[in-house]
A and B are shown apart, each in its own frame.
Chain A
C-alpha cells in the first residue's frame, strides 16, 4: 500500500519538475527551488523527495546527457507521469475550493492570475 498524498514540499518539487521540463534533474531543481522560494535546500533533500515521488508513481526518470562541468557524468532527468499530473490537479482544486470558502479572500477580491 503506497501513500498517495502530497506534502507541501513534495508538491513544490513536483511543480518544479514540470516547470523545468528537459532540465529537471536534482541539482537544477534544488537551484530553482532556492531561487524561487529564497529558501536553502540541499541536493540530498531534493533527491530524496524525487526518489519518494518516483516510488509513489508521480515521476519517472531516465539518464540524460552529460556535460563537462559534471565531470562527464550523466544526469537523471525526471518527468511527471499522468498520475503525477492528476495529483497536482487534485491538490490545486482542493486548495482553490478552500480559498473560495474563506469569505475574506473569496474569488473576486483576490485574483489567482486566471
Chain B
C-alpha cells in the first residue's frame, strides 16, 4: 500500500519553523521539499521522510537560528571562558576530578537503585483503578491463653451480610485460591496451575483490562473461566487472539469442563495477587464447600463509595461481630494498598505474611546515608579543590569581577559535575537494573513512565550540586583580593575540623553497614544450620492429588520394600507451610470457659519416624492399636499448656471427638524461626491429607526419586508426578533475609568504597597543606617511617572514633532487627572487631599509599618557593 502523494513530515516542518530565521524560511523550505521529492524517486517514502528529518536537524546551526546573537556577546565569551577554565582545572588535577565525579556517580547509582526499589514497594496495588477505595476484611482472633491469631480470611456468608446491611459499598467480591495446584488440560497441553474462585463481581472491584470477553458477564456462567494472557498463550499458542479463544474448552482434574469466557491482561508484579485462572465462586457452592458462619476460609474485598469512610464501616462491622458468638470481636478493614507492606497474618491469601515496611525503612535509611555521604564527600573535595584557586579568584576580583559572578561560576561548575555524575549513574543504573531485579526478585523498569522519578533525580542532582558548591562559593568569594594575591590566604582550621568530622561519620556508617551485613548473614546461616527437631534433609513431599489416596496403602507398601526408602507418611500440613489451627479442644482439667488455639495436623502412621521427630513420652500412632484413629499426640508446648503431669492415656477431645493422648513429641519448628514453637496436636484423619512425605536414604537420590515416581505413576497414572525437597522449601522461608544479605553485600561495598574516596580526598588535602612541614622535618633528619607514623596517628584517631561511635549504633539497630526472631544469634565482639580492623586496614593502606609520594619527595621541591 503506497500513499498516493507523500508529503514531508509535518512535525519536522513545524520544528523547522520553530527555530529557523524568518528570512531564510522560504529558500530552506523550498530546498528541503525539492530534496524530499528527489529522494522519493529513488527511495521509499519512509526513507525520504527520515532523510527530511535528518536535513531539518542539520539546519540547527548558528547561522540559521532565530534570535542568535552576534558571536561577540560578552555573555558568550564569559561562558566560554568559564568552561575553558573549568576544563583546565580538571586537567590540572585529574585524580580529584575523577574521585569527585565517580564518587558522586556511585552514590547516585546506589541511591537510584534503592529509590527505585522503594518506589516499587510503595507502588503495590496502585495500578488498580480506585485502588485507594478498595479494602479487605481481616480479623485478629484473641484467645484466652493470650495468643492473637491474625487471619485475613472470613466466613463465606459474612461479606454478603455486610454488603446487604451497610451503606457505602459499591461492590464486593470474595476470593478463594485453592491451596494446592490443579491439573489443567487443553488438548495435549497439561500443567498444574493455581486456581482461584471469585465472585462474578470481581471485575467490578478490580477493574482489570480484558483482552477478550468482557468484565460484565464473563463469570456469570458457572462453567466459565477467565484466564490471564500468559495462560492463554500457554494453552492456545501465541496466536490465541487471532484464533478466537472465547468458548474454547479447558478441563480441570481430568473431568470438569470449563469454557474460556474472558482473557485478562497479565497482572504486573507489584500486587499481592497471584492468579492465572479464575473460576466462578458459585462453583464452590456446587462442590459443597461450607459457606456459613464460623469458618474462616474466604477472603473478601470491598470497593467503597468515594465518600464512604472505611474506619466507620470497620467500626460498624466489629460492633456487629460483638453480637455474635461465632465471630471474633476484632474484625476490621485493611486498605488494599497497605496489604503488601503492613500484613503480618498467620493466615493470609498465600500462606502467612510478615511485615515488610521495616525493610523499606532500613533501605530509606541506607539511601539517605549514601546520599549524605556523597554530598559530604563532594562538598569536601570541591572545597579543597577551590581553595587551590584562591589566586584565580583574587585576580578575577582585581580586574572587576563581582562577587555574584564568582559565586555563579563556582556554583555552575559544581552543578555541572553533579549533572555529569547523574548521567554516569543513570547509565550505570540502566545496565545494572536486570542484575538488581534478579537479586531483589523484582521486575522494576526504568522507562519513560517513571518520568516523575527522573525529574526528581535531575532536581535532586541540581540541588546536590548547589549545596556542594555553596560552601566554597560563599567562602571563597568573600576574600579580599589584595590579601589573596599577596599569598596570605590561609584555609581556616575550622574547615579541617569539619572535614575530620565528615570522615568520622563516613567511616562510622561503613563500619555499621559492615557489621550489620555480617550479623544479618550470621543470622541467615543460623536459620540454615539450626537443629529444627525434625530432619529436613532428604525428605521429599508431594501434594496429594487425584487418586493417590485411594491407592495410598499399596503405594506405601511398594515403596517401603525398597532399601532406599526409609519412611512414607501423610499429613494435612508440612513443616514449612502450616495452615490448620483451631479452637474447640478439651482435656482433663481444662477451664471450661477458655477457648484456646492449637495447631492441629492430621498425621499418618510413621509420621514421627518419617520426619525424624523425637518422642519425649509414649509412642507414635501405630496400626497395632486400632483405637489410634481417635487418639492424639501432643508436642511439649501443648503439653505445658494443658498442665497435665502424666499425659499418657489421659482424655483429650477435639471438636467433641474424645480420644486418649498416646504420645508426646519433643518440640520441633513446624513454622519459620521467626516464631517460637507453638502448641500442636497430631490426630489421625485420612480425609485431611494434603501431602505425602517420603524419607529417602542417603545415597543415590536420583534413583530413589525414580522409584517414588514409578510408584506414583502406578497408583495415580493420570496425574503427573510433582515433588519438592523439604530443605529447599525451608530455605525459601527465609528468602527476604537471603535477599537482604545479598543486597547489603553490594551496598556495604559501595559505601566503603565511597568512604575511601572521601578519605583519599582528605589525605590529599592534608598532605598538600603539610607538604612544607614534612619537608622541614626531613631536612631536620626525620626518617620516612617517623613521618608516616606521625601522619598515621592522625587518621588512626579518626577511625577509632568512628569505630567507637559505630558500636552502640549497630547494637541498637541490630538488636531491633533481631528481636523479630524468636530464634536468633547472640551479638558477639568479633562481629564488630572484624569490620573495624578491616576498615582500619584499608584506611592505613590508603594513607600510606597517598602520603608516600609526599614523604619521599625531595624537600627542596616544596621549600624553594619561600
Q: How many whole Å from A42's CB to the nearest CB in chain B?
A: 3
Q: How many whole Å from A54's CB to the nearest CB in chain B?
A: 10
User: Which residues 15-69 in B have Cβ within 8 Å of A in the complex?
Assistant: 26-35, 37-38, 54-55, 57-61, 63-64
A86 within 8 A of B: no
A16 to B429, CA, bound (A): 50
User: Which residues 13-66 in A have Cβ within 8 Å of B in the complex?
Assistant: 25-27, 30-31, 42-45, 47-48, 51-52, 63, 66
Pairwise interchain contact B34-A69, C-beta atoms closer than 8 A:
yes
Interface of chain B, main secondary structure: helix
Pairwise interchain contact B27-A63, C-beta atoms closer than 8 A:
yes
B60 contact set on A, CB distance < 8 A: 44
Pairwise interchain contact B33-A70, C-beta atoms closer than 8 A:
yes
**B30 contacts which of A31, A45, A74 (Cβ < 8 Å)?**
A74
Pairwise interchain contact A44-B58, C-beta atoms closer than 8 A:
yes
A74 contact set on B, CB distance < 8 A: 26-27, 30
Pairwise interchain contact A27-B31, C-beta atoms closer than 8 A:
yes
A21 to B29, CA, bound (A): 22
A75 to B27, CA, bound (A): 5
B63 contact set on A, CB distance < 8 A: 47-48, 51-52
Q: How many whole Å from A47's CB to the nearest CB in chain B?
A: 7
Pairwise interchain contact B58-A70, C-beta atoms closer than 8 A:
no
CB-nearest residue of chain B to A49: B63
Pairwise interchain contact B33-A71, C-beta atoms closer than 8 A:
yes
B59 contact set on A, CB distance < 8 A: 42-44, 47
B34 contact set on A, CB distance < 8 A: 27, 67, 69-70
Pairwise interchain contact A47-B54, C-beta atoms closer than 8 A:
no
A76 to B26, CA, bound (A): 9
Q: How many whole Å from A21's CB to the nearest CB in chain B?
A: 18
Q: How many whole Å from A13's CB to the nearest CB in chain B?
A: 14
A73 contact set on B, CB distance < 8 A: 26-27, 29-30, 33
A45 to B35, CA, bound (A): 14
- Using a Cβ–Cβ cut-off of 8 Å, how many residues does chain B contribute to the interface with A? 21
Q: How many whole Å from A68's CB to the nearest CB in chain B?
A: 10
Q: How many whole Å from B668's CB to the nearest CB in chain A?
A: 77
| Interface range, A side | 20 to 34
User: What total count of A-B pairs have CB within 8 Å?
Assistant: 73
A71 to B58, CA, bound (A): 21
A74 to B23, CA, bound (A): 12
Q: How many whole Å from B255's CB to the nearest CB in chain A?
A: 70
A67 to B33, CA, bound (A): 11
CB-nearest residue of chain A to B36: A69
Pairwise interchain contact B31-A25, C-beta atoms closer than 8 A:
yes
CB-nearest residue of chain B to A76: B27
With A42-B58, A44-B55 known to touch, is A71 a contact of B31 (CB < 8 Å)? no
B61 contact set on A, CB distance < 8 A: 44-45, 47-48
A48 to B21, CA, bound (A): 13
Q: How many whole Å from B60's CB to the nearest CB in chain A?
A: 8
CB-nearest residue of chain A to B56: A44
CB-nearest residue of chain A to B51: A42
Q: How many whole Å from B245's CB to the nearest CB in chain A?
A: 50
Pairwise interchain contact A43-B31, C-beta atoms closer than 8 A:
yes
User: Which residues 754-789 in B have Cβ within 8 Å of A in the complex?
Assistant: none
B37 contact set on A, CB distance < 8 A: 69
**B29 contacts which of A30, A42, A45, A71 (Cβ < 8 Å)?**
A71
A51 contact set on B, CB distance < 8 A: 63-64
A31 contact set on B, CB distance < 8 A: 35, 38
Pairwise interchain contact A48-B64, C-beta atoms closer than 8 A:
yes
Pairwise interchain contact B29-A27, C-beta atoms closer than 8 A:
no
Pairwise interchain contact A69-B33, C-beta atoms closer than 8 A:
yes
A63 to B28, CA, bound (A): 12
Pairwise interchain contact A70-B64, C-beta atoms closer than 8 A:
no
With A42-B55, A69-B37 known to touch, is A47 a contact of B30 (CB < 8 Å)? no
With A27-B35, A42-B58 known to touch, is A71 a contact of B64 (CB < 8 Å)? no
A27 contact set on B, CB distance < 8 A: 30-32, 34-35, 38
CB-nearest residue of chain A to B28: A47
A82 to B534, CA, bound (A): 103
B26 contact set on A, CB distance < 8 A: 63, 73-74
A27 to B28, CA, bound (A): 9
A75 to B33, CA, bound (A): 11
**Chain A CB within 10 Å — which of B30, B32, B33 has the most?**
B30
Pairwise interchain contact A43-B35, C-beta atoms closer than 8 A:
yes
Pairwise interchain contact A43-B55, C-beta atoms closer than 8 A:
yes
A42 to B63, CA, bound (A): 15
Interface string of B638-662 (1 = CB under 8 A from A): 0000000000000000000000000
Pairwise interchain contact A44-B64, C-beta atoms closer than 8 A:
yes
A75 contact set on B, CB distance < 8 A: 27, 30-31
A42 to B29, CA, bound (A): 14
Q: How many whole Å from B611's CB to the nearest CB in chain A?
A: 77
Q: How many whole Å from B30's CB to the nearest CB in chain A?
A: 3
A52 contact set on B, CB distance < 8 A: 63
Q: How many whole Å from A32's CB to the nearest CB in chain B?
A: 12
**Chain A CB within 10 Å — which of B27, B29, B38 has the most?**
B27
B29 contact set on A, CB distance < 8 A: 70-71, 73
**Chain B CB within 10 Å — which of A42, A66, A67 has the most?**
A42
Pairwise interchain contact B54-A42, C-beta atoms closer than 8 A:
yes
B30 contact set on A, CB distance < 8 A: 27, 66, 70-71, 73-75
A31 to B33, CA, bound (A): 13
**Chain B CB within 10 Å — which of A25, A52, A73, A76 has the most?**
A73
CB-nearest residue of chain B to A71: B33
A47 to B32, CA, bound (A): 11
Q: How many whole Å from B51's CB to the nearest CB in chain A?
A: 9
Pairwise interchain contact A70-B31, C-beta atoms closer than 8 A:
yes
Q: How many whole Å from A75's CB to the nearest CB in chain B?
A: 6
Q: How many whole Å from B27's CB to the nearest CB in chain A?
A: 4
Supply 19 further A-B pairs (C-beta < 8 A) apart from A43-B55, A45-B58: A25-B31, A26-B27, A30-B35, A42-B55, A43-B31, A45-B61, A47-B28, A47-B31, A47-B61, A47-B63, A52-B63, A63-B26, A69-B37, A70-B29, A70-B34, A73-B26, A73-B27, A73-B30, A75-B27
Which A-B residue pairs are the 7 nearest by beta carbons? A73-B30, A42-B58, A44-B58, A70-B30, A27-B31, A44-B59, A76-B27
- List 19 A-B residue pairs with CB atoms under 8 Å apart, sorted by A's residue number: A27-B31, A27-B32, A31-B35, A42-B58, A43-B31, A43-B35, A44-B59, A44-B60, A47-B28, A47-B31, A47-B63, A48-B61, A69-B34, A70-B33, A71-B29, A71-B33, A73-B27, A73-B29, A75-B30
